[in-house]
Amino acid sequence: MPKAAKLVELAPALRHLIEKAARAREHAYAPYSHFQVGAAILTASGSIHVGCNVENGSYGATMCAERAAVAAAVSAGEREFAAIALVAASEHPPTPCGICRQVLAELSPAIEVVMANLAGDVLIASGNELLPSPFTLLR
């Protein structure tokens, strides 16, 4: 499953992606959970799009950081993704929720998912590892 790493051990491109996600986290709207998450997605063309979680009082309307980043990228015309980083202030690196795993699996099943906390702990897994049997109508 996910392999553990430290931020300092990562390639510069992945460190940069984590830094972008950490900055996006600062804009999160999380008045209910107080759990701010930032995400940054790297497209196949090399562009990076960010997102943060945006909570809502009717919890089902809450937008996770990963899906916010995906929506920003898709809105910019991107459809192919290489990696996504997510960052939270947590004891362990955060992992995507089931809905986010499904969204990533449909758009880019082999995406590299880089999960980090503010202490520099990192987990890395592929989308296929995080959701080995996704629901799909397209494949």
Q: How many CB atoms lie within 10 A of CB 98?
A: 9
Beta bridge partners of 65: none
Catalytic residue IDs: 66
Angle at 101 between CA 137 and CA 42, to 5 degrees: 105
Cβ pair 52, 36 in contact under 8 A: yes
SS3 119: coil
Please state, in angstroms and rounded to a whole number, the distance separating the CA atoms of residues 68 and 65: 5
